[in-house]
Amino acid sequence: MSQEMVLYRGSLKSCNYRCSYCPFSKHKSSGRELKQDREAWLRFTDSLTAGKAPEDFRALMVVPYGEALIHPWYWEGLGALSRLGQIDAVGAQTNLSFVLEESLEGFRKAGGVAGKLRLWATFHPEMVSPEDFAGKCRRLQEAGVLLCAGAVGVPENIRLIQRLRCLLPADIYLWINRMDGLKREYTEGEKEAFLELDPYFWRELLPVPADKSLCRGRAFVESDGRMRLCNISGVTAENWYLPERATDGRKEADGGDPPKLPEPAGKTPLICGRKQCSCYLAYGGRSDAMNAVMFGPYPLFRIPRRPRAVFLDIMGTLVPENSQGRGKEEFLPGTKTRLALETMAGEGALLFWATTLPAKEARRYCQEAAPLFSGGVFAAGAHVYAEYKGRKREYFHRLECGSLARLKALREKLGFRILSYRHGELLYKITLIRPERRPWMAEEANQIKNTLEPECRKEVRWITEGHCLQLVAAKATKANGVKMICEWLKIPLPEIAAIGDTGEDKEMMELHLDTQAGICYYKPVTKNNN
């Protein structure tokens, strides 16, 4: 099981708040229960800090049933984990009721790095005023902590939540969770009010079909080591405390022992069995393109990226790989992809395509969403176009290839046809197309390359995509096209996001490796479900 993002839920089932809608306000943990929770948490953190963390482990989020951060051991554990060089972020869901200065001091004493701390703060108007909650958010922000804030979408609380929005710093995202116990549909007025507060609230209103293929890169760990895909999926037979990750255990001075764990049963296929991803902890961690663009490499922390410009691959990213030119349904008003693009544009992001397709083909696939885009990088970087504030900039990389005649001579022998792409007299791309059932083999592609004159080979870049072998100028890449547009618009690279699903996109996505502010990564998946 991939463990880039790990969610941990201890045995804690109590909270210091007494919210009427919450079952955990009814239970007060005994000293014994708290001791068990502490020991389980420390055993978990020990398994990571003892130098036995999985190689792909990058982020951790505590998602308790109750309120964890009123207990000092959670701050100590988060601090110790944030010290690990491979860790990008640690955090927790919390009602912010902890003593701020004391808690942060415990975090720092454990070696905690404030810049890696992420808090998902929940506003409960029955227990705290908007003024006090917003004040604490500001103090955390001043301490260098990244956070989001939010509330359950209770219609009766709209005005209080609106008050909170006015008091919060503008750069703190205020999210709204759908109220499951409402027992009726939201009225149009309520939807409008919540969408004004949270531009992403439409994600809570639309059904999200379960798709296990999008749940790679995360693991959900229970206090006893049992593992899940997410909080609502089935339990796997795999246990976190495999022999290679187990520590010697923790023996407390008072004689307490760590909780006994079931024997590991070995690695097994991940279990889901759900028809829908019914909460943010389920759908917010999926490895789909929109999650990555809108919320960065670890979307479960629920902190929006808000890039100034977004560069999006088309095939396999915006539209399914097998769409055969029919991307229309992905971009109709009310669909998730269309709403995601509209949300980003509404928050000020400029949208650009970044594709191996020529501009005309790109618009054909995405014609319903074309008005949202300001140009793009087309033909694998050979054609760059941007339109911004009434100004237009355009550039073509000339393909200096004097061997087109030789390619034509090979057409019958190797069974391909030639498409030449030109801007006026300027040749910028050649595509050698075979029947779809006969993809290009490496040997055949090399045979063609070797027919070209040595000088021509140096000036040409080859791209193999199934049954298409494409030739562009050597300097024509998606990465160079992205840099060109950013130079035109004076947008620093750390303020953009790029997303794709193939090796052709990799350089573009690695222009800036700052996971907090720069390019985000999208891992290829077998099925697109945007």
| Strand order across the beta sheet in which 350-354 lies | 391-396, 383-388, 373-378, 350-354, 309-312, 496-499
Encoded amino acid at 476, one letter: A
User: Per-residue pLDDT for 96 more than 90?
Assistant: yes
**Mean predicted confidence (pLDDT) in 344-350:** 94
Name, in order, each residue with C-beta under 8 angstroms of 289's C-beta and a sequence gap of 6 or more: 312, 317, 318, 499, 501, 522, 528, 530
- Residue 464 backbone phi and psi in degrees, to 5: -105, 120
- Report which of residues 320 and 119 the model is more confident about: 119
- What SS3 class is residue 344? helix
User: Is the predicted pLDDT of residue 489 greater than 70, yes or no?
Assistant: yes
The DSSP secondary structure of 435-462, one letter per residue, reads: -TTSPPPHHHHHHHHHHS-HHHHHTEEE
pLDDT grade for 251, boundaries at 50, 70 and 90: very low
Residues 156, 158, 159, 164: is their CA dihedral positive or negative?
positive
The per-residue pLDDT of the chain, averaged, comes to: 86
pLDDT band at 520 (very low <50, low <70, confident <90, very high): very low
The least confident of 111-125, 198-212, 324-338, 390-404 is 324-338
Strand partners, 119: 92, 147
What pLDDT, on a 0 to 100 scale, did the predictor assign at position 263? 40
Q: What is the C-alpha separation between 27 and 14, in angstroms, rounded? A: 5
525 pLDDT exceeds 80?
A: no
The C-alpha atoms of residue 9 and residue 283 are separated, in whole angstroms, by 17
Task: Give Cα 273 distance to the centre of its chain.
Answer: 23
pLDDT at position 476: 96
Whole-structure pTM value: 0.84
Mean pLDDT, range 82-93, rounded to an integer = 95
Q: Which is more confident, 527 or 71?
A: 71
Task: Please give the pLDDT value at position 321.
Answer: 75
pLDDT at 449: 82
- In which band, very low, low, confident or very high, does the pLDDT at 304 lie, cut at 50, 70 and 90? very high
Q: What dihedral angle (degrees, nearest 10) is formed by the CA atoms of 284, 288, 289, 292?
A: 40
**For residue 324, what are the CA distances in angstroms to 10, 361, 527?**
47, 11, 15
Residue 122 in contact with residue 95, Cβ under 8 Å? yes
pLDDT of 316 reads 85
pLDDT of residue 2: 59
pLDDT top residue among 325 and 312: 312
Q: Tell me the per-residue pLDDT of 502-514, one tens digit each, with 9 for 90 and over.
A: 888 888 988 854 4
Nearest to 285 by CA among 236, 234, 334, 231: 231
Mean pLDDT across the stretch 404-408?
75
Mean pLDDT of 357-386: 95
Report residue 110's pLDDT band, with 50, 70 and 90 as the boundaries: very high
Task: Please write the tens of the pLDDT for every residue from 190-249.
Answer: 999 999 999 999 999 999 999 888 888 888 999 999 998 899 988 777 889 876 554 444
pLDDT digits (tens, 9 = 90+) for 152-163: 999 999 999 999
Short-list 152, 118, 31, 6, CA closest to 14: 31
Say if residue 170's pLDDT is above 50: yes
**Residue range 474-482: average pLDDT?**
95
pLDDT at 516: 35
Question: Per-residue pLDDT for 333 more than 50?
Answer: yes
One DSSP character per residue, 293-341 reads HHH-S-GGG------SEEEE--BTTTB-TT-TT--GGGGSTTSHHHHHH
**For residue 519, what pLDDT is reported?**
38
Highest mean pLDDT among 46-60, 272-286, 382-396, 458-472: 382-396
pLDDT in tens, 443-471: 888 888 887 777 777 888 988 888 889 99
Could you read off the pLDDT of 252-299 as tens digits, one per residue? 434 445 444 444 334 445 678 889 999 999 999 888 878 888 898 899
pLDDT at 24: 63
Q: β-pairing, 146-152 with 174-177?
A: parallel
What per-residue confidence (pLDDT) applies to 234?
A: 83
Q: Which amino acid is at 337?
A: T
Find which of 32-46, 202-216, 308-322, 323-337 is predicted with most confidence, using mean pLDDT.
32-46
Q: How many CB atoms lie within 10 A of CB 392?
A: 10
